[in-house]
Amino acid sequence: MRLGIIGTGRIAKRFVKEAAYVDGIVLTAVFNPHAGSASRFVSDACAEDDRYAKAIPDATEDPAVFWGKVDAVYIASPHETHYSYVMEALKNGKHVLCEKPLCFKRKEAEEAFAEAKAQGLVLFEAIKTAYCPGFAKLLEVAKSGLIGEICNVEATFTKLEDPNSRELTDLAYGGSFTELGSYVLLPALKLLGTKYLELRFDSVKSENGLDLFTRATLTYPQGMATLTCGLGVKSEGRLLVCGTKGYLIAEAPWWKTRHFEAHFEDASLIKEYSEEFLGDGLRYELQDFLSAIEQNAPESSKLSVDQSVAFASIMEMFLSSASR
């Protein structure tokens, strides 16, 4: 499958390396509308490792040229451009793997998946944690009944970002929750569902109004979730899943799930689980994406359409509540 990359930021560079580990993929083009950006991306990648000279043979600023060279695309452009690129790709008959957040509005996510369905194309949201073996194992154990009925999910992901970075200076789409919220929402939506009763946001903001630290609280008929992320405040990053018979705990970086434990009332009884997490983890989402295309299975078993639409809806509510 001929795969093209839209966007030339940090994640795109990591994606090139990860794609080398997935059979059946050939990177054929990279696109950036800004003059010289795509060419610099390719030359910089080749300077680091000359194997990339064959991996990405064409860099272009011309969308018509780009669409003619690819069967599918990986979208790694700035967040606010995702929706427009997704729709353009689908209307050009291309399968789409799009970095999170897929969209910032529920309606846009619904339109994108409807277009993919109408075109018979695959559209996946790329939240790498959702596709990695360790996280899949954690979900399996959580749902097995080992820890009883799940009543609470607590997830935290923080990192200290450069105050001058795009993430902390883009007044429209920057901030902690738009950058990291998808990760912490993932275990809650997977384990407690998308039908929550209430949603509340509490944030610590910088002088420019962007959130340095945000806690989202979701209330469900059967439980609750407390989800915390931050780019300017550091906290212990762990995932805790509480049940009526015990709990699961995965320490940071749980979003690259390699190891987790099950604990019970009897403190001496601990079950440990480990799974391999290779590289940057992007190979897992790419492999699932390719498999879905080959098997004509448009909806991911790891991240459903309903869950991606719920992510977009929650992002929309956050941006609205933040009064930007």
**Tens of pLDDT along 148-165?**
999 999 999 999 999 999
Confidence of residue 224 (pLDDT cuts 50, 70, 90): very high
CB 236, CB 154: distance < 8 Å: no
**Tens of pLDDT along 102-134?**
999 999 999 999 999 999 999 999 999 999 999
Q: Give all domains of the chain, ordered by start, each with its CATH number.
A: 2-126 (3.40.50.720), 133-276 (3.30.360.10)
Taking residues 133-143, what's their average pLDDT?
98
pLDDT of 36: 83
Overall pTM surpassing 0.85 (yes/no): yes
Which has more pLDDT, 39 or 142? 142
